[in-house]
Amino acid sequence: MSFKQLFATPKGFEPRPALLQHSQIPKGLHGHAPRVVLGQEWWDKQRQAAYAKYGYRCWACGSDENEEPLEAHECYDFNFKDCVATLHEVVALCSQCHQFIHSGLLYRRVFAGEIEEAAAIATLQRGEQLLMAAGLSMQIGTAETMAFLGMKHKARLLQRVQDFRDCTWKIIVEGREYNV
């Protein structure tokens, strides 16, 4: 029995499918994240703490890392008016849930030939089912990605609502502001 299996999932853990509704990352933040600003050592501590917090389970669907590899995801509160992204938590997600949240990236990976279109559609359908079971709906950008992947021609994703501003974003992490 492994170290992780010796410890039961902490009492009170319930999957949070609402994490799958996280807003798409605005274009101005692509390639910028707290792990870039604060370094790999900081990021490794944050992600390891997120993995361990709920017994190495996906916070969105509850699968354990034996079912799906875990990945860490930064959750932000976005202020689109002032172009500020405030990190409020780092969560552990299985690769399927993480790909669902980053549907724009999933879309680009399909058309770059890195992932099969059928696999991407299955990932999006799985996320949609998790949300529907919880009485929640998909973000507009995720729904657009799902619709475009189902089309026979290779359409481009529509411009996201939150990307309407051409601005310089700031990230706030642990109370400190960083220009990106």
Concatenating the DSSP letter of every residue in the chain gives --HHHHSPPPTT----GGGGGPPPPPGGGTT--HHHHH-HHHHHHHHHHHHHHTTSB-TTT--BTTTS-EEEEEEEEEETTTTEEEEEEEEEEEHHHHHHHTHHHHHHHHHTTSS-HHHHHHHHHHHHHHHHHTT----HHHHHHHHHHTSSS-PPPPPPGGG------EEEETTEEEE-
pLDDT, tens only, 7-43: 456 677 899 999 999 888 888 888 888 988 899 999 9
- Classify residue 10: in a domain, yes or no: no
Q: Considering the domain boundaries, does residue 71 fall inside one?
A: yes
**Is the confidence at residue 107, as pLDDT, over 80?**
yes
Looking at the domain assignment, is residue 1 inside a domain?
Answer: no
| pLDDT above 50 for 1 | no
Of 95, 107, 94, residue with least CA distance to 143: 107
The domain tally of the chain equals 1
- Tally of CA atoms within 13 A in the half-sphere of 24 that contains its CB: 24
Q: What is the pTM of this model?
A: 0.82
pLDDT at 159 over 70: no
pLDDT value, residue 163: 46
In a domain, 30, yes or no: yes
Q: What is the pLDDT of residue 143?
A: 74
Residue 55 belongs to some domain of the structure: yes
State the pLDDT at residue 166. Answer: 67
Mean pLDDT of the region 68-79: 92
Structural contact between residues 157 and 148, judged by C-beta atoms closer than 8 angstroms: yes
Domain membership of residue 53 as a residue range: 15-152+161-179
Q: What is the mean pLDDT of the chain?
A: 84
**Residue 154: predicted pLDDT:** 44
Residues 89 and 102: beta-carbon distance below 8 Å: no
Q: pLDDT tier at 164 (50, 70, 90 boundaries)?
A: very low
Residue 8 belongs to a domain? no
Q: Given this model, what pLDDT does residue 121 score? A: 92
- Check pLDDT > 90 for residue 176: yes
Locate 41 and state its tokens.
């050592």
| Mean pLDDT value across residues 121-139 | 92
pLDDT value at 161 more than 60: no
Q: What is the four-CA torsion angle of 34, 40, 23, 104, rounded to 10 degrees?
A: 130
- Sorted by sequence, the CB contacts under 8 Å of residue 86 that are 6+ apart come out as 76, 77, 78, 79, 171, 172
Task: Evaluate whether residue 45 is within a structural domain.
Answer: yes
**Is the predicted pLDDT of residue 158 greater than 60, yes or no?**
no
